[in-house]
Amino acid sequence: MHELLQTTVNGLTTGCLYALIALGYSMVYGILKLLNFAHGDLYMVGAYIGYFVIQWFGGPNAVSIPVPLLLAIMVLLAAVGVGVLGMAIERFAYRPLRDAPRIAPLITALGVSFVLENTVLLLFGGFTRSYSTPTFISFNSGITLDGVRIDSVELMIFGLSFAMMYGLHQLVQRTTLGKSMRAVASDREAAEMLGINVDRTIALTFFIGSAMAGVAGVMSGLAFNQISNTIGFLAGLKAFTAAVVGGIGSIAGSMIGGLLIGLCESFSASYVSSEYTDLIVFGILIATMLLRPTGILGQKALQKV
Amino acid sequence: MLLSLEDVTTYYGPMRILEGMSLQVDEGELVCLLGGNASGKSTTLKTILGLVRPRAGRVMLAGEDVTRWPVPRRIAGGLAIVPENRRLFGQMTVRENLELGAVLQDHGHFDEDIARVHSLFPRLQERRDQLAGTLSGGEQQMVAMGRALMARPRLLLMDEPSMGLSPALVQQNFRIIKEVHEAGVAILMVEQNATMALSIADRGYVLSTGEIVLEGPASELLGHDELKRAYLGA
């Protein structure tokens, strides 16, 4: 029973991170019908920004400012930095191809992914860097419920993820920007005919989606310690799986898909073998594609009468 | 003069769609633009709205040269369109569709504007929280019209309002168009159904392969032999 709960907590932690990345994947797909393969690498860039913020403020062993402040700066800088990077990618790599056949931006997205991975390799080297989180956030901080440990990094991941998902949901449902995003996603030309600024709406969608990936990068650095220039690839694929399983284009679907994939991973690691986690996760992707290609919450567009 | 096109020539890539086209709509007028398939009717509306830029000629709106203006600026300047096939956002509610029509408007007069649309189309008030894609064809046409009116247009562009509607709904739709027109909104309507359109219009133009071939008061065009031959098969 205890192991079951602990596995669930661990699964939900990674699941939150996958959900945050999947949301950006899904939003970009929704508005441009583009699978942004560079999205996982944005998460990697976020992890590096967080790492360098720690170094800037004295390194993990001698943090020169209060830890909560440090965490806030890491999250904020990663969100803004990666958000702006995402907007720049859209502006210079995808916008010129907006009316091109869909295969062209898809290949460009793969190219952008290579550029990001190799730029980081060139600038910071190919070795693995460590956040060394335990030296400034004690493992013993956090809470214990019935013998199940939820450490403070996990608490932060839950809190921040749910806050961001709730915020995104409100934004998309209630604000003019959110409604414009849905309008552009559903019929770009019709949106343009109402005077909606389509370029700006798409750019802001990239900003929001990328910022969430950046924050996920920082949080995964804190939770798993190890970062390198290639972590974006696998994380991106898993988030893609989460988005597809939940129903790509659907925001609630990405959240559910992310949590589901996280749980699958931790349960297969605990009860089967950690060597089989990827096999199981991508098996689920294939099964979803075969059995329910629209995902859990995805639906076919309503037919116009 | 509210709108005037002066010698407008528009291309899609290498294809010339409009050739030296001139057209006027006065304040409060209802003008129809007739023509068969591929005569350039929809392109004319897109050129007026700014979705396509003419290669030559000018688009004047209320005395200002708007030829180089982007779409949102033209809409803020008093244009709105009810597009062909309505183009509603089917997965959004009726109210959200109407809100998007007012995306460039001051929030200050939103309630007043939506009340005006609801009084014109009481059905939309009943269905405000329903997804637009689940409405009947006639109701969808009301949403499309209401959405355009939320932009407080001085000139309403209408692209094929009778398309895909049953004859009874076409009747109803034209009654609504007439009502909106009588409220003081100038309308430029593109239509295949010539008799129907001319019966409510003040003036008409006939377009053929990108050129105006006939123009005049609606009553005069209705009796015109050439138009009858081209459209009414008489």
φ, ψ at B27 (rounded to 5°): -50, 130
Percent of chain A with pLDDT strictly greater than 90: 85
Domain with CATH 3.40.50.300 in chain B: 3-78+153-232
Distance from CA of B93 to the nearest CA of A (A): 11
> Chain B residues with CB inside 8 Å of A304's CB?
85-86, 88, 90, 133, 140
Q: Tokens at residue B85, please?
A: 């096939």
List, for residues B80-103, the tens digit of each pLDDT value. 999 998 999 999 999 999 999 999
> pLDDT-based confidence at A249, cuts 50/70/90?
confident
Residue with the two structure tokens 């159904």: B193
Domains of chain A in start order, with CATH, are 2-291 (1.10.3470)
3-state secondary structure of B233: coil
> How many Å apart are CA A29 and CA A105, to the nearest integer?
12
Percent of chain A with pLDDT strictly greater than 70: 98
> Chain B residues with CB inside 8 Å of A189's CB?
51, 87
Predicted pLDDT of residue B44:
95
Mean of the pLDDT values across residues A179-196? 96
Percent of chain B with pLDDT strictly greater than 70: 97
Give the nearest chain A residue to B145 (CA atoms).
A194
Q: Is the pLDDT of residue B208 over 90?
A: no
Q: Which residues contact B171 (CB under 8 A, 6 or more apart)?
A: none
**B233 vs A32, B78, B194, CA distance in Å?**
45, 38, 12
> Chain A residues with CB inside 8 Å of B81's CB?
193
Q: If contacts are CB pairs under 8 Å, which of residues 14-53 in chain B contact chain A?
A: 49, 51
Distance from CA of B132 to the nearest CA of A (A): 9
Q: Is the pLDDT of residue A197 over 80?
A: yes
Among the partner-chain residues B71, B88, B103, the one whose CB lies closest to the CB of A176 is B103
Please indicate if any CB of chain A lies within 8 Å of the CB of B83: yes
Give the nearest chain A residue to B131 (CA atoms).
A302
φ, ψ at B81 (rounded to 5°): -130, 140
Give the nearest chain B residue to A187 (CA atoms).
B89
Nearest alpha-carbon partner for A250 in A302, A172, A162, A180: A172
Structure-derived torsion over alpha carbons of residues A54, A56, A59, A65, reported in degrees to the nearest 10: -80
Tally A–B CB contacts below 8 A.
Answer: 72
> How many Å apart are CA B90 and CA B73, to the nearest integer?
26
Distance from CA of B139 to the nearest CA of A (A): 10
- Asked if A194 and B137 come within 8 Å (Cβ–Cβ), the reply is no
> How many Å apart are CA B129 and CA B126, to the nearest integer?
8
Q: Tokens at residue B86, please?
A: 């309505």
Which of A194, A200, A201 to mutate: most B Cβ within 10 Å?
A194
**Sign of torsion over alpha carbons B116, B122, B128, B131:** negative
Mean of the pLDDT values across residues A151-170? 95
Residues in chain A: 305
Helix A277-291 vs helix A251-271: angle between axes, to the nearest 10 degrees? Answer: 140
Predicted pLDDT of residue B230:
65
Can you name the CATH fold of B3-78+153-232? Rossmann fold (3.40.50)
List, for residues B163-206, the tens digit of each pLDDT value. 878 888 888 888 889 988 998 899 999 998 888 899 999 999 99
DSSP state of B135: S
List, for residues A134-155, the tens digit of each pLDDT value. 999 887 788 888 888 899 999 9
> Chain A residues with CB inside 8 Å of B143's CB?
none
Segments in chain A forming alpha helices (H): 2-32, 39-56, 67-89, 103-124, 152-174, 176-186, 188-193, 198-224, 231-246, 251-271, 277-291
- Asked if B91 and A302 come within 8 Å (Cβ–Cβ), the reply is yes
**Interstrand relation of B15-25 and B3-12 (parallel, antiparallel or unpaired):** antiparallel
> How many Å apart are CA A207 and CA A89, to the nearest integer?
10
> How many Å apart are CA A285 and CA A236, to the nearest integer?
13
> Chain A residues with CB inside 8 Å of B88's CB?
190, 304
List, for residues A58-77, the tens digit of each pLDDT value. 999 999 999 999 999 999 99
> Chain A residues with CB inside 8 Å of B89's CB?
182-183, 186-187, 190
Please indicate if any CB of chain A lies within 8 Å of the CB of B214: no
Q: Is the pLDDT of residue A305 over 70?
A: no
ipTM of the complex: 0.91
- Is the whole model's pTM more than 0.80, yes or no? yes
Predicted pLDDT of residue B231:
61
> How many Å apart are CA B8 and CA B59, to the nearest integer?
8
Residues in chain B: 234
Residue with the two structure tokens 């190890």: A226
Predicted pLDDT of residue A302:
40
